[in-house]
Amino acid sequence: MNKYNIVILDEAHERSIYTDILFSLVKKAVIKRNGDLRLIVTSATLNTDQFARYFNNCPVLKVEGRCYPVEILHGNCSANKRVEEAVRAAIRMHLHEGPGDILVFLPGSEDCEMACKLCISKLQELISREKEVPSMVIYPLYGAQNCEDQARVFEKPPEHHRKLIFSTNIAETSLTIDGIGFVIDSGYVKQKCYNPRTGMDALLIVPISKVQAIQRAGRAGRTQAGKCYRMFSEQFFKEQMVEYTIPEILRV
């Protein structure tokens, strides 16, 4: 990194193995270069005290975001019915809310594909009963998709169409989709965890952290005032969700 004088590490709160090792390497480089290398660590939802302590009590700057207000609504859906409830909530929003695309967070790619099929069949059922249903385009979004399929999500929908996206946590921070006015949050994510008994990693469906819930809700307030429907109770948010996501280096 001798050619560089400033390094920016973004989305620091994600705490993957790669970023955690990178933090330590860049910290060493900053000390070694003795004032010649600057490090800027950025995040929308970061435990700033912990990071400031790690980086030798460095200064913390807070920049006001330009997000619009987001109204938070809570439900109480059982974990095994999350796909059906997410589809019901999305159709309800589509029929009764004003303009703005809908982003639904589900744990895995199978859930996203299943939700797309279920949503299409429910809308066809409403049309067959001669209900008036506005036009809509529906997409799944997850990491294992090829680039062409992922790119479709960013295309502007046809006129008078609403976009509905069923996504994993890839749309939480990795990808930003314009025009989202409504978010539906299942409250769960697939997380890689190491089982010392078997000596293997496993993908487990676990509740998200409070930081992730805040990050997901914020997706609705980027281009307009929005709404976030959380499919879990306020009590579940306060009492059962951990404050911060457990770093990957402690899980694998």
Last residue of a domain, one of 42, 64, 86: 64
226-230 vs 70-74, strand pairing mode: parallel
Q: What is the pTM of this model?
A: 0.88
Angle, to 10 degrees, between the axis of helix 82-96 and the axis of helix 109-128? 50
Tokens coding 129: 């009963």
Give the position of tokens 């660590």.
Answer: 41
Give the pLDDT score at 192: 87
Same domain, 76 and 25: no
> 134 with 219, same domain?
yes
DSSP string, 20-72: HHHHHHHHHHHHHHTTS-EEEE--SS--HHHHHHHTTS---------PPPEEE
The rounded mean pLDDT for the chain is 91
- The confidence score (pLDDT) of residue 222 equals 85
Cβ within 8 Å of residue 108, ≥6 positions away = 142, 168, 190, 203, 205
Q: Average pLDDT in the 127-155 region?
A: 91
User: 175 pLDDT exceeds 90?
Assistant: no
Same domain, yes or no, for 20 and 80?
Answer: no
Last residue of a domain, one of 14, 44, 64: 64
pLDDT band at 66 (very low <50, low <70, confident <90, very high): low
- Regarding beta strands 200-207 and 188-195, do their DSSP bridges make them parallel or antiparallel, or are they unpaired? antiparallel
Residue 60 inside a domain? The answer is yes
Based on the fold, state whether residues 41 and 110 are members of the same structural domain: no
Query: Do 77 and 133 share a domain, yes or no?
Result: yes
- Domain limit, last residue, from 27, 47, 64: 64
Number of domains in the chain: 2
Lowest mean pLDDT among 42-46, 63-67, 170-174, 211-215: 63-67
Answer whether 178's CB lies under 8 Å from 222's CB.
yes
Domain that holds residue 45: 6-64
For residues 55 and 91, membership in a common domain is answered with: no
Considering the domain architecture, whether residues 233 and 211 belong to the same structural domain is answered as yes
Q: How confident is the model at residue 73 (pLDDT cuts 50, 70, 90)?
A: very high
Pair (20, 76) in one structural domain:
no
Condensed to tens digits (0 to 9), the pLDDT of residues 217-247 reads 989 988 888 999 999 999 999 998 999 888 9
Whether residue 105 sits in one domain with residue 91: yes
Same domain, residue pair 119 and 19:
no
Q: 91 and 58 in one domain?
A: no
Do residues 206 and 103 share a domain? yes
pLDDT for the residue numbered 142: 94
**Domain of 103: which CATH number?**
3.40.50.300
Which residue, chain included where needed, has tokens 């409830």? 85
Q: Does 1 reside within a domain?
A: no
Q: Is residue 228 part of a domain?
A: yes
